[in-house]
Every structure is written in C-alpha cells, then in structure tokens.
Amino acid sequence: MRLAGRRVVLGVSGGIASYKACVLARRLAEAGALVDVVLTQGGAQFIGPVTFEGLTGRPVLTSLWDRGPALAHIRLAQDAELIVIAPATANLIARAAQGMADDLLTAILLARTVPVLVAPAMNDRMYAHPATQQNLATLRERGWTMVGPAVGQLAEGPSDLPGRMSEPEEILVQVERLLRGPQSRLRGKRVVVTAGPTREALDPVRVITNRSSGRMGYALAEAAFARGAAVLLISGPTTLAPPPGIEVQRVESTEQLQQGVARAVKDADVLMMAAAPADFRPAAKGREKRDRAAGNTTLALEPTPDILETTKPFRRKGAVIVGFAFETGEKAARAKRKLTSKGLDLLVVNRADEPGAGAEVETNRVTLLSANGERELPLMSKRDVAEQVCEAVEALL
Ligand SMILES: Cc1cc2nc3c(=O)[nH]c(=O)nc-3n(C[C@H](O)[C@H](O)[C@H](O)COP(=O)(O)O)c2cc1C
C-alpha cells in the first residue's frame, strides 16, 4: 500500500463538494493512510461524522470544545504529515489567510508545521472575487499547495470558469506527491515516458498498429509523478484518460514518436521507453482507399527508425535509460543482449506470451535486467510494476 501508515488530516469545510471528500477519504484509507477527518461547522451541515468514521475507521473531530483527547488541535497538528482541505470554501480560505483560529480546523492550521494541500470549491464568481484571489495568493506565498479548482458543472449549473473542486483521484495524486516526493530520488527530476502503440498509415483510412493499450506507460508516468518527478508523457493513440498533473504530448506514427523523444531527451534525467512503436510501416502510403475489388494485394513494408538508436546522440550525460522489450518464449533470452547493444541502464522484459501479461491487460509479469543483475517479478498490476521500475531507477540515479 503506497501510503501505508502515513498520517493525514482531512479538513472538510461547508460546500456541496464535500460529497467528493467521502470518496477521497475512502481512497486515502484504501492506500493505507491513517486519515483524521476534521469537519468545520459548515462541513458538518453537509456530511455527518458517522459517514467519515465508517470510511476511515477513525474518530472524526468537529469542534475545539468536544470532550475528547486533550488539546486535540495541537496533537493533530503535531502528528499529521500532511493536511488536506477538500473542499476548501471561500470562508475557510479567508479565515486561514487571516490566521484565525476560531474552530478546530483553523487552529490546527495555525499550529501545524507540515505541508498543506488545498482544494478550493465554490461558485465561479466567489472564486474570481479579488478577496478570494488575494487570500489564495497569501496562502501560496506561505507555501501551501493548491489543487484546482477545475472548470465544469457547479451545483447551481454548468460553468466555463474555475470553481468546481478537483476530482478525488487528482487530489490523491497530489497527496501522494507531497508525502512520497521528499523521500524519492526522482523528486524534481525530468522524466520522459513513452506509451501506447503507434499507427502507420496504409491509406487515408487504414493503419497498421499493435495491441499495446498504453497502460504500462501511463502507470509509469503516474508512479514517477507520485514520487515528485516532472513528467512528460509522449503517447501514441490510446483510449486512456490523461493522468492528472502530467504533461501529455500526443503522437501517431513511429516517426512522430522519434521526433518527440529526440526533442525531449535533451534535458531528461530519465527516459522510460514503454511505447510499442511499429517496427514496420508501408513503404508507400496510398492516396486513395484500397478497393477490395482489386483482389489479392501485396504490401511492401519498410522498417521504421529505431528510436533508442537514433536518439542516442541527444541523450543527456548520466541520464538513466529504461527500455522495454516484448518477448515470447525462447526469445526472452535475446532481450539480455539489448541491454548493452542499446546502451540501456535498465531493461524491462515483458513476457507477452503468459496469461495476464503483456498488452491489453491490467496486469503484467516482467523481469528487470540491469548491470546489477536480473530480478523476476511475479504477476502484479501494471501500477505495481511501475512502482518497482521506479524503485530500480532510483537506485540507478
Ligand atoms: C447549500 C449550500 C452550498 C454551499 N456551497 C458552498 C461552496 O461550494 N463553496 C463555498 O465556498 N461556500 C459554500 N457555501 C457557503 C458556506 O457553507 C458558508 O460560507 C459557511 O459559512 C462555510 O462554513 P465553514 O467555513 O465552517 O465551512 C454553501 C452554503 C450552502 C447553504
């Protein structure tokens, strides 16, 4: 569990978006965090403490004056590793910016020394108001981190201005980054990840492609981001949603992918090549859609550029280069040779022929090869594989 035993105070103030705080509390608890929910007076109007107690398995605090543990505000401020406020109302943001301590949450915020993550949620005009903007600027100056707000549906109707609270998944990613980043060698590093298949056009309609879903690359991008890296994801065509917080550059063909990597690799500290670019493309692209009536057709294919090879001269000195190889059966042994021939620091060998591994599935079974030796990993989720790869990269940095 990625946040096992980590102590988080989740402050919930009085907005409709507090229903999303329930999902956030659940996700944090599932990730292993010990979540102490603190409700403001407004927050308690929307969701009762019983719901949060059920979701976190821990008592919920709602007032400075409750008969509970002595000096709860000081104790929570000391024990927490991170304070998350989601949703943060205009009122809570104003009170925090003024340094007020008129309820339990604001008192904790004054007594704390740990980072604070704020997810503002309010009507778009409340958010745009100079008073709110000034208060947020004050909090940013104090080093508080903001997530959102997003643009989209508000309780009162659609809006094309910011105000809506960020989704729990996006907040969770930022929580992870703040908690895990300080312990990671990837923090502040520039990581470039390639993902997905490429498409090579036969004619204006048809393409040659492969079964890569992009999941492994997207999981790597998320894992590196959660460790505090600045991530650029260069993605071939996939149906996956862009991971929150991560810069995504879309490409279609192997040649476009190669150009993207050549540009990005110049200042990359780490390059993870998880894309499955087509090795061949039609030697000539037809202008017209081929007609079936033409009968049997022979396709002439030519090899595409070898991205690792052609971008070698642009690599930054000391950069960690991670390659991925799809291999089946006996050919898996061949992968070892790639480590040296392609100038890789780490090679992740996908066993494409085993159940639950390779393309189009959520799980993978890989072997990690580096100068330090060979490590075979059991079948696990692609996100867990990504964690293992990031750990191996940290050791090489
Ligand atoms: C139905 C309803 C929805 C509200 N939604 C929001 C909101 O999304 N954002 C906000 O800043 N205030 C919202 N408010 C106003 C706050 O609840 C109000 O400012 C309150 O004083 C905040 O209290 P707190 O700081 O104790 O949480 C809402 C009020 C009501 C009655």
Any ligand 1 atom below 6 A from CB of 100: no
Any ligand 1 atom below 6 A from CB of 40: yes
Q: How far is the CA of 177 from the centre of ligand 1 (A)?
A: 28
d(CA 295, CA 305): 31
Residues 36, 115 share a domain: yes
Domains identified in the chain, total number: 2
Residues 379, 242 share a domain: yes
Any domain includes 238? yes
Q: How far is the CA of 80 from the centre of ligand 1 (A)?
A: 26
Token couple for 357: 């591994």
Any ligand 1 atom below 6 A from CB of 14: yes
Any domain includes 161? yes
Instruction: Tell me which residue of 81, 23, 79, 78 sits closest to 56, measured CA to CA.
Output: 23
Residues 71, 170 share a domain: yes
Q: How many residues does the chain have?
A: 397
Range of the domain at 140: 7-181
Cβ–Cβ under 8 Å, residues 173 and 243: yes
Is pTM beyond 0.95 here? no
CATH, residue 88: 3.40.50.1950
pLDDT at 358: 67
The pLDDT tens digits along the chain (397 residues) read 899 999 999 999 999 999 999 999 999 999 999 999 999 999 999 999 999 999 999 999 998 887 777 677 788 888 899 999 999 999 999 999 999 999 999 999 999 999 999 999 999 999 999 999 999 999 999 999 999 999 988 888 888 889 999 999 999 999 999 999 999 999 999 999 999 999 999 988 899 999 889 999 999 999 999 999 999 999 999 999 989 889 999 999 999 999 999 999 999 999 999 999 999 999 987 788 878 888 888 889 999 999 988 888 888 988 999 999 877 655 556 677 778 888 899 999 887 777 666 666 778 888 899 888 888 999 999 899 999 999 999 999 9
pLDDT at 332: 55
Q: How far is the CA of 42 from the centre of ligand 1 (A)?
A: 6
Residues 227, 142 share a domain: no
Q: How far is the CA of 64 from the centre of ligand 1 (A)?
A: 20
In sign, the C-alpha dihedral spanning 393, 395, 8, 6 is positive
pLDDT at 215: 93
pLDDT at 35: 97
pLDDT at 328: 61
Any ligand 1 atom below 6 A from CB of 13: yes
CATH, residue 243: 3.40.50.10300
pLDDT at 356: 67
In sign, the C-alpha dihedral spanning 246, 249, 255, 259 is negative
> Which residue numbers are catalytic?
210
Any ligand 1 atom below 6 A from CB of 248: no
Boundary (domain end) residue, out of 181, 206, 228:
181
Secondary structure string (H, E, C) spanning 85-120:
EEEECHHHHHHHHCCCCCCHHHHHHHHCCCCEEEEE
Residues 162, 36 share a domain: yes
pLDDT at 168: 96
